[in-house]
Amino acid sequence: MATHYIPRNVKGEGRILMIFSTKALIYTGIGVGIGFLFYLLFNAIGLLYVGIGLMILFGLIGFAIATFKIPDSTAFKFTQKLGGEKIDDVIVRALKFKLKKNKIYVYETEDKGELKNGQQPN
């Protein structure tokens, strides 16, 4: 008997609970961990629900950073250049740029025109 390869769709098999990819689960855990610090702080002063709300908020922020992409829009100069890239990739690239202490130099050339009859430039 011969063996035959049957193609199947494996996209999404690396997801947990159909929502979380491994990266999204890690980022959500980090967000909840940061929110837990605020939970402890607010719980100590008697604001339990504020602490729980912040923990959920930071978890959602972590999930959004890992999952969503920057929209491809022409409304802003920022989104024109980064449209379609994942948010966490942009953040990591910006942090690496800052840690290396790189600088961006912008040279502006402005045509002042010719000066007439010995006028001084402004």
pLDDT per residue as tens digits for the range 42-87: 888 888 888 888 899 998 888 888 888 877 777 777 666 667 778 8
Higher pLDDT, 37 or 3: 37
> Which residue from 38, 61, 59 is spatially nearest to 49, judged by alpha carbons?
38
91, part of any domain: yes
115, part of any domain: no
Please count the structural domains in the chain: 1
Query: CA-to-CA distance for 82 and 72, rounded, in angstroms?
Result: 7
Q: What domain range includes position 53?
A: 22-99
Rounded to two decimals, the pTM is 0.61
